[in-house]
RNA sequence: GGCGACGUGGCCAAGUGGCAAGGCAAGGGUCUGCAAAACCCUGAUCACGGGUUCAAAUCCCGUCGUCGCCUCCA
């Protein structure tokens, strides 16, 4: 297998650190609001990665964090905690918010056929680990304290910013962030003190004072706990390259001297057609629920994503989603008509493996799917091979069945009349009756097995 | 202002040195009383201008255009 590693900026062969096992850490949601389709693109990518690893026979230990504290509204470390802000907005407590949006997130994952991680880890369940991690960094001499928190001194780490190829000088020059009491623009909070004049909903005792952990420390602490100080793959969205992941690496380098993960993989952004930013903070955004409300199967969005490379920005449009929905419908129908699976075709399987193992080249894998289903292999072989592919693609083809909706009695009556008219070759009457049925919202098809009705879309 | 990415048929999108995948749409055809569905067939020389090379969509330079990050973001 070959994956593109952001750290080295090259596609290189993936070899697990421990034979047969893979430690995978994927940055999860900050649960202060719903996840939008852009977020879900990243989770779909990670799902494909996970499925591909398992397809190759690896045992994957997959950890996903739930950020339920400490993620500020600004990376300048001066902003408000997102959870507290969400609490004000909704009237729920910070804890209720976290539970609510975590549940919503898992619902969206399920609707997109995303496999759940082996371990969910909530930041607030690991305060002790995070404090210990900060102490480790402090003992190594990389911290300093200001009036509002404990900070990481990035100037003491020569390798700081390597992942993002940060131009520190340039950052200083074009700086647009409020430094506060920080020594360097890239320094970041490890622990923030609760404001003296108010009590936060989420706060804990620490050696430095009552407060809460910074956003980046949770990933270093929790990944170390579950996967060790150096594990196989760490994933996230492209926006995490320059700040979040850079800081995670800094923390772990300070404490353990490793760059945290052997491979760093990042999914690129989904962009909206009209160039409207799809950020959580803009308030109005597309999410899985939006698709459902519009009558789309969420898996159409999965198909939409699989048609493009994860390392390329992808433009979302309703036209594009329609195309994906249509092709998914066809694939499902074809799959269903292929009947029962027999044996997998080894040649197709080899070609498929080569594609997905080449940095998850899903567009090519999908193209191979079409070639397979239209090949002249026996139906059972095509079906068996397709289902094998689907363990990676994740369309749930094995379980799909055409929906059988009963037409209302009046429509059935019209159909009966039409059959009568046809039998008597009164074609005009037959056509008029079909128009009537169409107007009632049903599509009529004459098949070798007789007429069939299905709801019009 | 700093950094970076991209520009492939009507739309989306693979391919990154050796005859340009796939999906959706469109046109033609088979089937059908008609239609639908299904199936078959058809189309791009890769923004533009130079250069390197036996050979470039793929490498280099320039121009134009679009977009992203540097501020919350996956």
CB A355 within 8 A of CB A419: no
3-state SS class at A63: strand
Alpha helices in A357-446 (DSSP H): 362-373, 379-393, 409-423, 427-439
| Of the listed ranges A158-162, A180-184, A191-195, A196-200, the one predicted with least confidence | A196-200
The 10 Å Cβ neighbour count of residue A62 is 25
What is the tens place of the pLDDT at every residue in A361-407?
999 999 999 999 999 999 999 999 999 999 999 999 999 988 777 77
The confidence score (pLDDT) of residue A180 equals 74
Q: Per-residue pLDDT averaged across A61-87, rounded?
A: 78
Query: Distance from residue A134 (CA) to nucleotide B52 (C1'), in Å?
Result: 54
> How sure is the predictor about A258, in pLDDT bands with cuts at 50, 70 and 90?
very high
Q: Give pLDDT tens digits for A73-84.
A: 665 566 677 777
pLDDT at A113 (0 to 100): 97
Q: Which of A45-54, A65-74, A384-393 is least confident?
A: A65-74
* Residue, of A189 and A87, whose pLDDT is higher: A189
Distance of A34 CA from B74 C1′ (whole Å) = 13
Alpha helices in A67-126 (DSSP H): 82-90, 94-111
Q: Provide the 8-state DSSP code for A268.
A: P
Local confidence band at A234 (pLDDT 50, 70, 90 cut-offs): very high
| pLDDT band per the 50, 70, 90 thresholds, residue A280 | very low
| Nearest residue by alpha-carbon distance to C1' of B12 | A320
Lookup: nucleotide whose C1' is closest to A422 CA: B33
What CATH architecture applies to the domain A272-399?
A: Orthogonal Bundle (1.10)
Find the Å distance, CA of residue A242 to C1' of nucleotide B50.
36
Summary mean pLDDT of chain A: 88
| Contact residues for A409 (Cβ-Cβ < 8 A; gap 6+) | none
CA of A447 to C1' of B35 (A): 12
For chain A, give the percent of residues with pLDDT over 70.
93
Query: Which tens digits make up the pLDDT trace of A409-440?
Result: 888 888 888 988 888 888 888 888 888 888 88
Cα(A8)–Cα(A159) distance, rounded to whole angstroms? 13
- From the alpha carbon of A431, which nucleotide's C1' atom is closest? B34
Topology of domain A2-267, per CATH?
Rossmann fold (3.40.50)
Listed as ranges, the nucleotides of chain B within 7 A of a protein C-beta are 1-3, 5-6, 11-15, 21-25, 32-40, 66-74
pLDDT score at A308: 93
Cα-based distances in Å from A281 to A72, A200, A284, A314:
12, 22, 8, 21
Tens of pLDDT, residue by residue over A125-153, are 999 999 999 999 999 999 999 988 999 99
Residue A75 CA, nucleotide B1 C1', distance (Å)? 20
Nearest nucleotide to the CA of A444, by C1', is B36
| CA end-to-end span of chain A | 42
Q: How many CB atoms are located within 10 Å of the residue A81 CB?
A: 22
Average pLDDT score over residue span A217-229:
95
Lowest mean per-residue pLDDT among A47-56, A73-82, A118-127, A171-180: A171-180
pLDDT band at A210 (very low <50, low <70, confident <90, very high): very high
């Amino acid at each position: 297998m070959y994956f593109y590693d952001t750290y080295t900026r090259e596609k290189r062969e993936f070899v697990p650190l421990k034979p047969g096992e893979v430690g995978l850490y994927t940055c999860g949601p900050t649960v202060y609001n719903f996840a939008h389709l852009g977020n879900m693109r990243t989770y779909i990518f990670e799902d494909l990665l996970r499925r591909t690893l398992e397809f190759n026979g690896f045992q994957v230990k997959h950890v996903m964090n739930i950020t339920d504290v400490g993620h500020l509204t600004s990376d300048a470390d001066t902003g408000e905690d997102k959870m507290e802000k969400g609490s004000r907005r909704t009237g729920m407590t910070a804890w209720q918010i976290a539970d609510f949006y975590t549940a919503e997130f898992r619902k969206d994952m399920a609707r997109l056929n995303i496999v759940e991680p082996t371990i969910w880890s909530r930041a607030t369940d690991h305060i002790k680990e995070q404090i210990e991690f900060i102490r480790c960094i402090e003992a190594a001499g990389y911290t300093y304290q200001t009036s509002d928190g404990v900070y990481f001194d990035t100037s003491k780490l020569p390798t700081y910013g390597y992942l993002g190829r940060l131009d520190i000088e340039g950052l200083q020059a074009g700086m647009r962030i409020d430094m506060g009491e920080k020594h360097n623009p890239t320094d970041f909070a490890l622990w923030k003190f609760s404001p003296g004049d108010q009590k936060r909903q989420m706060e804990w005792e620490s050696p430095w004072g009552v407060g809460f952990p910074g956003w980046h420390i949770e990933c270093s602490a929790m990944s170390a706990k579950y996967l060790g100080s150096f594990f196989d793959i760490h994933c996230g969205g492209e926006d995490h390259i320059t700040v979040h992941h850079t800081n995670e690496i800094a923390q772990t380098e300070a404490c353990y001297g490793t760059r945290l993960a052997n491979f760093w993989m990042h999914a690129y952004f989904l962009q909206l057609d009209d160039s409207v930013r799809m950020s959580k903070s803009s308030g109005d955004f597309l999410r899985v629920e939006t698709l459902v409300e519009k009558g789309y199967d969420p898996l159409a969005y999965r198909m939409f994503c699989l048609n493009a490379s994860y390392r390329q920005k992808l433009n979302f449009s309703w036209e594009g989603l329609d195309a994906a929905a249509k092709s998914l419908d066809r694939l499902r129908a074809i799959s269903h008509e292929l009947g029962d699976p027999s044996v997998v075709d080894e040649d197709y399987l080899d070609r498929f493996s080569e594609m997905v193992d080449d940095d998850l080249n899903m567009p090519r894998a999908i193209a191979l799917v079409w070639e397979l289903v239209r090949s002249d292999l026996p139906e059972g072989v095509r079906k068996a091979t397709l289902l094998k592919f689907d363990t990676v693609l994740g369309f749930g083809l094995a379980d799909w069945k055409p929906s059988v909706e009963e037409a209302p009695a009046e429509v059935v009556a019209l159909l009966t009349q039409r059959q009568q008219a046809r039998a008597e070759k009164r074609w005009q009457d037959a056509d008029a009756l079909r128009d009537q049925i169409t107007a009632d919202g049903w599509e009529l098809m004459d098949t070798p097995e007789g007429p069939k009705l299905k709801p019009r879309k």
